[in-house]
Each structure stands twice: as structure tokens, then as C-alpha cells.
Chain A
Amino acid sequence: MLSPEYLLSLIVFLPAIWALLVLFFDGKASDEIRYFGVIGTALTFALTLQLVSQYKLEPTEADLHQGMQFYFSMPWIPNWNVNYALGVDGISLPLVLLTGFVSLLAMIASWSIEKHLKGYVILFLLLETGMMGVFLSLDFLLFYVFWEVMLLPMYFLIGVWGGPRREYAAIKFFLYTLAGGVLMLIALLMLYFTSGNSFDLLYLAQVGQGQVPGLSFSKNFQITAFILLFIGFAIKLPSFPFHTWLPDAHVEAPTPISMILAGVLLKMGGYGIIRLAFPICPLGAQYCAYGMVALGVFSIIYGAFAALAQTDFKRLVAYSSVSHMGYVLLGLAVWQVAEKAGDPNLHYWRMGVNAAMFQMIAHGISSTGMFFMVGILYDRVHHRDVNQFGGIAGLMPHYTGLAAGIFFAGLGLPGLCGFIGEIFSVLSCWNFDKTLAIIAASGVILTAGYILWTMQRVYFGPAYKGPHGEALVPINGREKFVSYALLAFAIILGVFPNLLFQYMDPSVKLLVDNLDAAVHPATVEAATTMVR
């Protein structure tokens, strides 16, 4: 049993420490560096597992700090009231676990990286620190710092180790994310000064929800702040029309970085919305709910159609991410305000938020897997033109079986993880808006269309049509390990989704109840009078 301060800090900073240690390696000792990197990420993953084992499913009052477990806060920059505050709840816990898991697999998948390996591993580990920090920090400035910290390694990882157009992609990624970061910064300052100089996310949430006597954010203020935050996070999510960085970044990034990008980075958008934008600006969120759902539904359909038209395998998978993350937005925002206590409306929203959370994890697994599957082919034949493949099933049968499993998870086949997130978010939508629900449901056809068509072109058929056919050798043990790990998680989560829901649902319920109470007319009225 590690105390929370050590455990959480270790999870966040162990990769950074490891990166420092990598500095002492001889740059030519490639294998040693690789194994060392794998050990670092594996240790971090072990720590996240430790966190899960220490996390209490039925916490007592003493374990909780406003719904957070392992919460602690110590002054960092006292003059500005900035704290080093970390904590975890059912919303961030699965994402922390996912980050550890995907980082480990991506590090194992990094064997094909040859150039400047030392720098690569260092940046990779720094990136992991940034990601963990984002998911664990409970102080807005700390969050912001981690958010930006994660950006730089990513820029270099794409810009140095990427494909032919890597610089374009890296800059595009950088600018998009930075633009989002700037909007977030504005919101951060607005909130800081309006709340009487606080960066504490939990306190800000209380203020936003009208639970602090004498202090509240007005509706217009909340709407402005919400939109700023939302755009910042929607870029990361990514949602239409802020998604065009994603295909380029994915196509140019090396395979392990694509895995991280799809597996973890996109989740920060969803996480930001649910951790920051919603609790702090409930009135703004309620005001924008319809727009968000519409945007989510549009992303689902748009991403699927765009994927259908791609011939670059990685681009195709990237657009499928746009489509899948649309379900996240959809599920998060199906907020039909309860008319009275115990109104089932809230249950549907709760289902939606849970589904969105689940979809994030599921997409983290299926999309990571899909990129890995593409990467296996790319490592062998060095091209990604879907129309130049074919016959892979005959040449690499084991690989094809695994790929089929992963792609079916992306397709939303029951028994695999993708299904649960998709179906529950769509089911939750009918209560919110029938038209949008029907459009969202039609996504199942398109998804099946583009995934099956791709599988047909790549895996089926008599013969491979592209160059370097002789390089298509069966997958090796390392690749098998990564694929099986992903597929196993996809199956476990698909068959026993309650494993995840039991962690998420209590936190989601708390959030949903608080937010709904916050926008209840009586609460809003009371808060307004208090301020007057």
C-alpha cells in the first residue's frame, strides 16, 4: 500500500525519471535502450494496476474528497494559489490504466524505430508523463502545464520520426493543439479571476454548480467559458470541423506514435470536457447540449463517409477515429434536464456519459490495435495503399485472424469492446432527440461498409498486388504479443463491460446528479440572489 502522494506522483513522474536515466545510455546501445524503455513503461503500467487495486469500489466517507480518491494537494506556487493537487475517480481511473497499457504496447511496438533511438525513447517517456499528468491533476494550472508538456514531445516525435510529410503534419498538429490550448488558457484566466483566484478544479466546479455561498458564475459567463473550453477540447477529440489535423498526423506519425495518438491523446478531449467543461460550466453545457449532440452525430456520419473514400490505410483508420469519437461527444451531451427528482431522464444521460467513457476506452483499444495492424503491414512492404494489397489472408493467416478481430472490435461487433460504447450511447440518444438518434443509428451501416470493404481489399483476394510481396512474412512473437494483448482486452471488455462500468458509474452518477441539480431553476435562482 503506497500512500496516495507517492503512488500518484510516481505514476506521473516515473517515466520522466526514466527519461533522465536513458540520458546516461550510450546512444549506440539500441537494444539496451529499447529494453530499458519497455521496463519503464511496464513499471508505470504496474503502478497503474496497483492504483486500480487500491481504488475502493465502495469507499467510505474518509476515502473521498468530493468524489475523488487518493486526493492530496500541496502548495506549488503559493503566491498565485497554485497547488500540486492530484486525485483519481472512476472517470480518470480507466483512462490512467489505458494510458499505462497503451504506452507499454506502443513501446513494445517501437522496435522498428532505428533513427536517434535515444532521443525517441526520452521523448516518448516525457510524453507519458504529460499524459498521466493530464489525467491525474486536479489543479487547472497544473492540468494546463501537463497539457502543454505533452504537446512538445509529440511535435518532435511526429516531426523527426515521421513519414515524408512529417514537418507539415507536425506543425499542423502543433498549431491546432496550441490554438486549443490558447482558448483553454483564456478560459482558465477568466475562471481564475472570477472565482477569486482559484485554480482548484473541484472548487471551481462547486462555484459553477452554485454550491458556494455568495459566489457563482453567471449564465453568460458560463456559456462563454464553456465554448472556449469546448473548442479547445473538441480539437483534441477531434470533432468535425476541427479534425483535419488527425489524418495528417496519423499518416505521418510512426506506428507507435499513431497508437499513442489514437489510443490516449484523443481521449484527453473527451476527458477535458467531462472533467473541466461540464462541472465548471453546467449552464453553458446545458445550453450547448443540442449542438454538441448534433456535432457528435455529424462527426459519426461524416467520419464514416470520409473513411469510405480513403485509399491510404492509415488515413482510413484515422477517419474511423473521427467517426468513433463522435459517439463520445454524443453520449456525453445527451442531457435532458430532469423535471423532478428521480426522473428517468437522468438515467439516460447517465447511460450516455458512461457509454461515452466506455467508448473512449474501447476506442483506445480498437483504434490502437488497428493502427498497429496497419503498422505491421507497413513495416513489411512500406506502402499503405489499400488498393495495392490483397491476399494477405493467405500469406499471413495468423495476422489476418488477429486483424479481423481488431477490426471487428472497431466495427462494433457484440462481444468486443466497440459494441458496448456505441450501442449505449446511441440508445441514450432517443430520449434526447429522436431525429439525431436515428441518424446516429444509421452509422452502424456505414461503419460496417467501410470496414468490411477495407478488409476485403486488403486481406481477401487471391494475390498481393503491390510491391515487396516477398517481405510479407508471418508476424513475429513481439507483434503477436501486442496483438493478443489488445484483442484480449477487447474481448474481456466486450463480454464483461461491467468490469469497467462498476468503476465509472458511481463517479458518473455523482457528476450527473450534481450537474442536473446545478441547472435546476431553483438552484440557479438561489445562486443568482446570493450574488446580488
Chain B
Amino acid sequence: MDTGTVLRNLLTLAWLLPLAGFVAEIYALQLRWSHRLSKAPAQLAVACIGAGFICSLSALLYWGSATNWEAWSPQHHGHHADAGHDTGHADAHHDADAAPADAMHPADGADVAAHADDSHDKAEAHHPKFYAGTFYRLAKFGSLDFTLDWYIDSLTLVMFTMVTFIATCIHLFAMGYMKDELTEEYEDHEVHLPGGHHFTRPGRFHRFFAFLSLFCFSMLGLVLAGNIFQVFIFWELVGVCSFLLIGFYVERHSASTAANKAFIMNRVGDFGFLIGLMILITSLGTFRFFDSVENGVEQTGLFTLVRGNDGQLDVSDAPSAVNSVVYLRDSQGHRLVDGTQPRTISYMLLIAAGLGVFAGSIGKSAQFPLQTWLPDAMEGPTPVSALVHSATMVAAGVYLAGRFYPMFPPEVLLGIAYIGCITAFLAATIAIVATDIKKVLAYSTISQLGYMMLGIGVGGWSAGLFHLVTHAFFKSLMFLASGSVIAGCHHEQDMRKMGGLRHKMPITAYTMLIGVIAIAGLAIPGSAALFGQPIAFSGFHSKDAIVATALAFTELNPNSLHSILFIVPLVTAGITAFYMFRLWFMTFAGQPRDEHVYEHAHENPPIMTMPLLILSVLAAGCALGGEEGWLFSLISYSESFPLHAALSSHRVTDIVIPSHPDVLRVHGTAGGLALLAAFAGMIVAYLLYCRKVVNPDDIRRQAGGVYDFLVDKWRFDTLYDAAFVRPAHSVAYWCQAFDKTVLDVVLHASAAVTVVVARWERLFDEGMVDGLVNLVGNTTTSFGRSLRVVQTGQLRQYIMWIAVGVVVLFAALYTTLPK
């Protein structure tokens, strides 16, 4: 078996195991292999996802060994030009691995590497950058082929490992967190029935884990997808899993409303996604990411069509972007022709397609202006918030933006950057005033997702996805910690009632602190100078990479507006540090605010604290080495087109995407500034919430307007309600009223007219037609009746008449006959 097949089999196994788990778990009670008080469904779910993790990890390691670990060290970036880099690892058996199989086509990535930089390490050409192939066909209409594909590169492998690992931890945590459900009579304190008592129902432990398993299946399918259509399929599936999990407490009206809101908001994004898909299938005729061979004919994939083999857009000479077209190319970089006409896609359509697909990301990743669903989604149980609504599913939007990166022209990237920038800032400001511990984390998630988008938008492909992975670790850690707090405080989520909890629950408090430091991006000042690189937790490195790219971008594109793409993330970094430390100080430090809550608080059992400890290690250390470290190297190994030199789609726009050397140049400056901002934020939080230098309540009173505006989440919900929800309902009302009052009335009127006409016709029939016939009959009758008197029955009278008749006859003959 070659490498691709092995990887495919391992990942497919990891992907399908949770599905099998889902089926078994949802029918746990019906099939009687478990009962309501049993933890067996959870154990099965953990087994499935744990086995998935082992498969994913083996795949990652197998791939690593098959490629001689070349992706694990930073040297594969062109910009390092490390002369001492080992070039002698292209053994013969690796050549065999890379040989094209039927289902797998040699990656154009190999060609890209070779073409783009001649001085680049030739050995890489022997290791395909990705493996891809087809599972089975959904439909084929002429040249339009729809299949389920797989596409495995280092990003896929990292995502698989990350998702399965975090999911395993969260499953374990949830076994503890959801143990309340292990009962025949679960009392839901959030639901008040008329009569003052709480709602009770049988526990739904098994169903929770079934939904989690289904989610894992969908999420892994999304990551494994080899074409954009397949991404859309799993995109919707993770959406529905999110719907089911947010609305897990179906009895709570707020939960089901939040679930609906999440799904519908996502559908708004998917509407854009769908438009993107329509443009792609119509203009490019394929959804595949990769080039494939069918019946000996090469089917060029999306990325090659648009980017050729050198990562550049082949744009026609036209005075403006509106009229220009992009020539489609094959894997050799030749322009494709259709008869004599070159195959092209209009530049504007390419932008529209990019924006459309990105609209899907906006919905899924809760970016501005569709960010409002994510905070509401915290209605779901906390493990769900940790897994679905922070670490994995919401990050799928970023993943898609990363996966689809080669299709985005610079204008779209700029749009992504701005959206991310706005989102990061907007969510961070709301997080300052949030008091629900989960809501703070939710807003911080939105804000961090904005960061990732920003990173991708300014050309920091690896930086954005790097942040995705690190964020997944520290955010899931923090969510689990908050879940631990909530469970320990008996479902109290309001931070204003907490305080001093670090004495009661030390593991939670200090693992949370690690997460807080990671997200705030703190590092030991001066460590870079001492040790060659900064000593810091993961968040610092990834955020650093984004901020640095943003700075490089603003320097390369000297435009006063674009400079906010650097300033805003910098400010946001400060705000982030502020509100995260605010959270930690309010919850764990200081004096207890609510004695009742404090007294009942307790540390949770090991099943819940163990995942915290494990995750805290990774949150701290996964990005070790920063951009020199293995994680960043792994991710950037699959960078879709190499940024050895600044890219720009010249002739159309003057937007320049920074290259690695550009970023490296400003790295120190950006990192220093970000660190400064983070420290500032932390210190302000310390002063306000620990030292109490100023009472935060005073500030609140001073800036009442701003405070209310932030508490109302910038009033987006109100706006959407007024602008979309209500109008939709009134249009709906008018539609059905139209049916009732126009269409049906027309129908009834025509029916009434028919009845009236019929009535007149009846009169005519009865009066005229029948009258005439009756007249004839009546006349005949009365004539006969009048003759009746002649019939007297008197024989002799008849004879008289005969005689008279004879006489008359004779007389007549006598007078009329000629003589």
C-alpha cells in the first residue's frame, strides 16, 4: 500500500467510527444494550473518538516518517535559505510512494515547489504535498461530476489530530459534567412550569453522546472533504449537529430559540456559499480541489484552473477589474482552450465566488455581520460550547477560508481581512461588559476567529491556521474550566456571584490561568533576547504571527485605511488581555461575592480535571518554538502557493500580499507592540478587579450610554429583528392573505358567477325550452279533448254522420269532377 492509501484508510476509519458510535448510542435504550443510568454510551463514544484520535495520530506520524519528517522542521520555507538543510533523504522507496496511483494524482504542489523557486530544495519534489482521491460518485451529468473525495495534506492531518484529540478530552470531561442526566427524573431548574415547580424528565445521557459523536463525524468529514461541494455537505451537517446540541435542553424555550437562530444565521451564510458554488460549477465546471485523471483524461481541479502551477492569477490586460478575465490553466501552466477560445472566468465573477464562499465562513465562524448567534449558542451544555462552538465547528469557517485560499483574488482577501478586523474588535468590546462566564468566552471566541480571518486575509495563511490550532487548545481548555466552575457552583454562570474560587477549586483555577495567559499572548519579556526565542504559551506565538503579517501588509500597501488592519488587532490584543484577566480575577481571585455560591463550590472529580490538565499542557506548549516550531512548520508545509516573493495580481489591483521575508522583517516590531498591548490590558484588569484602584461600577455609571450599547451587543439583535425577522413574518402573512383574499376570492367569485349563470340557464330552460315543448303537447291535448264530444257512442248518430259524409262526398265529387 502506498502512503496515500494508508492515510486514506486511517482517516476514513477515524471519520466513520463516530458515525457508527452515533447509531449505537442513539439506539442505546431501544436496542437494550444499555440503560438510562448506565455510562456505557459515553464509554462507547469515547472509545470511538479515542480510536479516531489514535488513527489520526498514526496517520500523522506515518506521513511524517514517509516524508522523512521534512515538514516538521521549519526549513521548507524558502525564506530561510538554510544552506545546511539535509537534501539527501529522497530514497528510492519514497519515489515509489509518490508514484501516481489511479485514484491519486501526483500533486501539482510538487510542481509548484519546483517551478516557483529553482533554488528550492529539489528533494521536496519527490514528496507530494497532498494525497487525494475519490470515495464514490454522487452524480454525473455530462462533464459535471459530483463525487465524495478525500484530500489529505498536512493541514488535514493536523486538523484531524487536533479535532479528535480535543474531542476525546471533551468527551471525557462531559462524562463527568453530564452525570446529572444519569437519572430517571432529571429536574430542569431553568424551566418553570405553571404551578411553581420545575420541569422533570428522564435523563438523556446517551442522547448527548450520540449527538457529540454525530458532530465528530460531520466535522471530520468536513476536514477530509476533497471538493467544495462536499465541504458544503458536511458544512450543513455540522450545522445541524450544532442545532441539536444547542437545543439539547429542548424544554427551554431560550435553548430552542438559540438553536434555531444558530441554524438560520448559518443558512444566511450558506445562501452566499450556494451562490459561490453556482458560480464555480457554471464557470469552472468542477468542484474538485485537485487534479484527477479519469479514463486517461486529465480533469483539472479548481486550484490549478485558477492559480496554474505558479500560484499567480493569469489575468488579461484590461483597463479595469470589471472587464478583465482570468485565464484558466492546467497543471503544466498552459492556458486551457475550448476549441479556439481560451477558457476564462470573469475576474468579477471570481471575486463574487470568493465572497460567496467566504459568506459561508462568515456564518459558520460567526463573523460580522452574522456574529449574533454564537453567544446565544451558549445555551447548550458547556462541553458543547467547548467542542463545537469554540474549538472545532466555528473554526471550520477559518478552515474553509484556508482551504479555499488559492481561489481568493486579493480583493476578496482584503474583504476577509476587514471582516476579521471588524469582528475581532466588535466582539472584544462586548466581552468587556459581559458577566456570564460562558458569554465572555463566547465573545472572545468570535474575536479570536476574527483574528484568524484577519491573518488569512492579509496573506498570513499559515499564521491564521496556526492560530486556529492553538486557539482550539486554549479555548477548549478555558471552556472546560468554565464548565468545571459551573458544575462546581451548581450551575451558576454569573461571574458577579463568584470570586475567590481558586481556594476551592485550584486545578480549575490554575489550568484556566494557563489558558488566560495563552489567549492574552503574554510572554516573558526579554526572553527572546536571552534564549533566541520568546518563552511563551501557544497563543503568543500564533497571535504574534498574525500581527506581524498584518504589519507587513500595511507596510506593503501604504494606504491610511489599510493601516487599521494592524492597529485594530493591536488594540484588540490589549482588550483581550483585559477581559480575560477580568474573567479570571472576578472568578478565582479576591473575596467571595456570594457566600452561598462559595460555600457550595467544590473541585470536580478527576474525570473532569484530567482533561483540563492534559489540555493545559498543550495550550501551553503546542506552539513551542513559535514559527520555528514543528506545528507551524507542519501547517505551512501545505501552504497553497508559496509566498517566497510578494504576490500581487498586478494589472488589476495594486494589493500586494506580503511574502515570508516581508513578515520576518517586521516580526520583532509587531511582536513587541502586541506584547506591550497585552501587558497593558492585563495590568488594567489587575488594577480594576484585583487592586480595586477604581471601582468598575463608577466607570459603568460614567459611561452609561456606551455601556448599554455594549451590553446590548451593539444592538445587532434588535436591528436584525426589525430588519429581517419581522418583515419576513409580515411578508409571510401577506402571502397567505393573498392566497385567501385574492386567489381564493377569484376562485370563489368565478364559482359564484357560474352558479348565477346556471340559475339563469335553469330559468331559460324551464321557461323557454320546456315551455315550447309543453305548448305543443298541451295544444294537442286540448284539441283532442275538444274532439271528444263528437264521440257520443250513439250508433245511429254515427251512421247519420256516415250518410251525411257520403252525401257530402258525392256532392263534392259531383261539383268538382269534370263533366
Contacts and interface: CB of A to CB of B under 8 A. Distances in A.
Direct contact of A and B (CB under 8 A): yes
A347 interface: yes
B233 interface: yes
A444 B360 CA distance: 13
Given A442-B271, A456-B256, A462 B138 contact: no
Contact of B26 (A319, A401, A414, A459): A401
Interface in B252-272: 252-253, 256-257, 259-260, 263-264, 267-268, 270-271
Interface string B279-293: 101100100000000
Contacts of B30: 398
Given A309-B735, A426-B278, 14 more contacts: A244-B744, A309-B732, A309-B733, A319-B736, A350-B141, A350-B142, A351-B141, A413-B240, A438-B275, A446-B728, A452-B264, A456-B259, A498-B137, A498-B139
Interface string A451-471: 011001001111100000000
A441 B271 contact: yes
Nearest to A248: B744
B701 interface: no
A427 B264 contact: no
A378 interface: no
Contact of A354 (B141, B201, B739): B141
A448 B278 contact: no
A233 interface: no
Contacts of B267: 444-445, 448-449
A430 B728 contact: no
Contact of A462 (B232, B251, B735): B251
A347 B140 CA distance: 10
Contacts of B282: 348, 427, 430-431
B517 interface: no
B81 interface: no
Contacts of A354: 139, 141
Closest 3 pairs (CB-CB, A-B): A347-B142, A430-B278, A308-B732
B401 to A, nearest CB: 20
A408 interface: yes
B745 to A, nearest CB: 10
Contacts of A448: 263-264, 267
A346 B142 contact: yes
Contact of B141 (A172, A408, A462, A505): A505
A172 B735 CA distance: 20
Contacts of A393: 250-251
A453 B261 CA distance: 10
Interface in B523-537: none
B234 A505 contact: no
B251 A460 contact: yes
B747 interface: yes
Contacts of B136: 496, 498
A247 B195 CA distance: 39
Interface residues of A, number: 64
Interface string B741-767: 001100100010000000000000000
Interface in B218-234: 232-234
A413 B236 contact: yes
Given A244-B747, A426-B278, A308 B729 contact: yes
A405 B744 CA distance: 34
A491 B551 CA distance: 50
B143 interface: yes
Interface string B130-157: 0000001111111110100000000000
Contact of B138 (A398, A420, A427): A420
B213 to A, nearest CB: 15
Contacts of B268: 445
Interface string A355-398: 00000000000000000000000000000000000010110001
A241 interface: yes
B274 interface: yes
Main secondary structure of the interface of B (DSSP, over half): helix
B693 interface: no
A414 B233 contact: yes
A361 B141 CA distance: 18
B1 interface: no
A244 B233 contact: no
B731 A305 contact: yes
A430 B744 contact: no
B676 interface: no
A459 to B, nearest CB: 7
Contacts of A452: 243, 259-260, 263-264
Contact of B739 (A306, A350, A398, A460): A306
A445 B728 CA distance: 11
B253 A497 contact: no
A509 interface: yes
Given A394-B201, A441-B274, A414 B237 contact: yes
A350 B247 CA distance: 40
B142 A415 contact: no
Main secondary structure of the interface of A (DSSP, over half): helix
Given A306-B735, A350-B142, A244 B743 contact: yes
Contact of A427 (B137, B142, B253, B278): B278
B279 A430 contact: yes
B237 A415 contact: yes
Nearest to B730: A309
A347 B144 contact: yes
Contact of A461 (B138, B146, B253, B259): B253
Contact of A460 (B250, B263, B733): B250
B199 interface: yes
Contact of A414 (B236, B260, B728): B236
B278 A429 contact: yes
Nearest to A463: B193
18 contacts: A244-B743, A306-B735, A306-B739, A350-B141, A394-B251, A426-B274, A426-B278, A427-B282, A444-B270, A445-B264, A445-B267, A449-B264, A459-B250, A460-B247, A460-B253, A462-B193, A497-B139, A498-B136
B568 interface: no
B381 to A, nearest CB: 16
Interface in A287-344: 302, 305-310, 319, 340, 344
B257 to A, nearest CB: 7
A302 B735 contact: yes
Contacts of B143: 344, 347
Interface in B658-696: none
B732 A306 contact: yes
A122 interface: no
Contact of A310 (B146, B271, B736): B736
Contacts of B142: 344, 346-347, 350-351, 509
B407 to A, nearest CB: 17
B284 to A, nearest CB: 11
B504 to A, nearest CB: 33
Contacts of A498: 136-140
Given A448-B267, A449-B728, A497-B138, A348 B144 contact: yes
Contacts of B736: 305-306, 309-310, 319
Interface in B675-729: 728-729
B253 A444 contact: no
B507 interface: no
Interface string B309-320: 000000000000
A408 B237 CA distance: 11
A508 B597 CA distance: 69
Nearest to B281: A427
B442 interface: no
B545 interface: no
A474 B743 CA distance: 40
Most chain A CB atoms below 10 A, which of B252, B281, B285: B281
Most chain A CB atoms below 10 A, which of B136, B256, B747: B256
A229 interface: no
Contacts of A437: 275, 278
B472 interface: no
Contacts of A146: none
A78 B293 CA distance: 56
